Amino acid sequence: MGWDEQKWARLLIMDLTRTGYRPSPETIQALKSLMAQKGSGGCTPAEGCTSAGARALLVTGEAGTGKTALAEAIADALEARDRYYYVQLHSWTGGKRFFDYQTDPAQSEEKGFLTKVAEASQTEGWTVVCLDEMDKAPESFEALFQDWLQTGRVPGKPGEHLYTNLDRLLVLVTSNGMRESGLAVPVSQQQGAGE
């Protein structure tokens, strides 16, 4: 881990404590791992860059152990509450409303979740995303989401894409362990609720 990543990890952990969340030693180690991951370097595949993917962490544990509270505390610690995006996943969670973006502002449909995240990621500061209970979402949804984590690409009309700036993006995915996850991200086990 380079100096910049060490600095961010240390500041994040100190600021988590300031918000009232007391991370366990395991959570601290997971956050250090999260901050050591590389983002996009501010460059998109459209500009010919190869991304290392989003900084993402799968947080597992039983209901009520503080998984979502950790994501909220991270958003507070990074002063990103206005760029904190939360979604509760279900067995009926589909890709269209989640992944699609609209290029026509006159459309009456609301922008997809990842469109909002991608647009926020283009501003200053961190953007924090919490996908709650990934284990309840269909496996096909998980595969599409994994592609976004790796590329930052939000599909639109054929041949059109909106790119997420992965450099200042933190993604926390929670799971109650109802099924095995296929996500290729570091895992943190939550044992008890954060204070």
- The answer to the question of residue 46 being in a domain is yes
Question: Would you tell me how many other CB atoms lie within 10 Å of the CB of residue 133?
Answer: 19
Q: Taking the model in full, what pTM does it have?
A: 0.80
CATH number of the structural domain spanning residue 54: 3.40.50.300
- The answer to the question of residue 18 being in a domain is no
| Phi, then psi, of 85 in degrees rounded to 5 | -120, 120
Q: Could you give the 3-state DSSP secondary structure of residue 128?
A: strand
72 band by pLDDT with thresholds 50, 70 and 90:
very high
**96 vs 86: which has the higher pLDDT:** 86
Tell me the pLDDT tens digit for each residue of 95-129.
Answer: 666 776 555 556 556 778 888 899 999 988 899 99
Q: Is the pLDDT of residue 135 over 80?
A: yes
- The answer to the question of residue 1 being in a domain is no
